[in-house]
Amino acid sequence: MTNTSVDGLFKDGGLSVITFSTTDASFAIPLDQVLYIEKDVKRNIQLNELNQFNHEVITFQNKSVQLFDFNRLIGSENHQKMMQTLVATLDKMEQQHVEWLNELENAVINSNPFTLALDPNKCEFGKWYNHFQSDNEELTEILQRFDAPHKKFHGLAENVLKLNKTNPEQAIKTLQLERATTLSDLVILFHLAKERAITSVRPIILFVEHNAGKVSALRLDNINDIVTYKRSSFDHDQSTEGVMNNQNEDFIIEGFLRNGNEAPFMLINCKSHKESLA
């Protein structure tokens, strides 16, 4: 089958697709255009410095085929790089809280003024935490567990500094206890959050067939599901510009697949009839 129109994709009124998503949108590729799926084990060759139009090379059935990073094709942020940035951010903020408690201990022992944030919403992590959002449910669940211990942690300063005025020895003991409990709880949560971020990076290589038997591959952040849609769920994309429309003739956005009030999937046709009409 070559030069497949949209109507030709829907066999007996239905179209089965593999769905996947990026940070910006959700997409679908007809299941019968998918030849093979494998984990990205980095067996590809990078020919040069990649920009959004360049490709790598990977083997499929003893032949070299083009490998495109899908995020680069559509100009979206790479999930792996996002998670690397998140881990670096969490590393930095974990260390900041270790140093915060060290500064509080120094203030107690040496009667120095303590000038770091008392309000959990005003430290760098608190500001970041109050605005950070993720569609990763496991990561979100871990981050939600920060709220109580983080507030308790910053509440230490006022209590310990007040106690130090009347009972310095007890103030030190309180700090030592909180270092072993509250700070330890925060450190564990930081490590769990970083672990969730790292394990969420599971790139997939999708080998697809184009017109005239041409094969290429896409690197995806994930694969969500296999879904079958009725022809009535499809709406044409009437635009002449947008995601990939003017970038790669092998991956054409035909339109949108809808499922009730859920966000639509952008349907990619790897055997588009548009090529023959050009």
Per residue in 127-166, pLDDT (tens digit) is 999 999 887 788 999 999 999 999 999 999 999 999 999 9
pLDDT number for residue 140: 92
pLDDT tens by residue, 223-245: 889 999 999 999 887 665 545 54
Output the pLDDT for position 252. Answer: 86
CB-facing half-sphere around the CA of 101: CA atoms within 13 A: 25
pLDDT band at 186 (very low <50, low <70, confident <90, very high): very high
Q: Above pLDDT 70, what percent of the chain? A: 88
pLDDT at 5: 73
58-101 pLDDT, tens digit each:
999 999 999 988 988 887 777 778 888 999 999 999 999 999 99
Q: What is the pLDDT of residue 277?
A: 39
Task: Give the residue from 186, 188, 195 showing the smallest Cα distance to 86.
Answer: 195
- pLDDT given at position 1: 38
Task: Kindly tell me if the per-residue pLDDT of 14 is higher than 50.
Answer: yes
Query: In whole numbers, what is the pLDDT of the chain averaged over residues?
Result: 86
Looking from the CA of 21 toward its CB, the CA atoms found within 13 Å total 11
Which residues are bridge partners to 257 per DSSP? 234, 265
Question: What integer pLDDT is reported at residue 273 of this predicted model?
Answer: 62
- Domain spans of the chain? 19-29+49-77+230-265, 81-199
pLDDT score recorded for residue 35? 96
Q: Is the pLDDT of residue 221 over 70?
A: yes
- The residue behind tokens 């790598």 is 56
**Neighbour-count burial for 234-252, b at 16+ CB within 10 Å, e otherwise:** beebeeeeebbeeeeebbb
Domain 81-199: give its CATH superfamily: Aspartate receptor, ligand-binding domain (1.20.120.30)
Q: Which one has a higher pLDDT value, 244 or 170?
A: 170
CA-closest candidate to residue 270, choices 196, 189, 211: 211
Q: How far apart are CA 189 and CA 147, in angstroms?
A: 11
For residue 36, the one-letter residue type is Y
What's the pTM value of the predicted model, to 2 decimals? 0.66
In whole angstroms, give the CA distance from residue 221 to residue 214.
Answer: 23
The amino acid occupying position 55 is H
d(CA 205, CA 233): 27
Band of pLDDT at residue 276, cut at 50, 70 and 90: very low
**What are the tens digits of pLDDT across the range 46-57?**
555 555 456 888
Q: Is the pLDDT of residue 19 over 80?
A: yes
Return the pLDDT at 248: 59
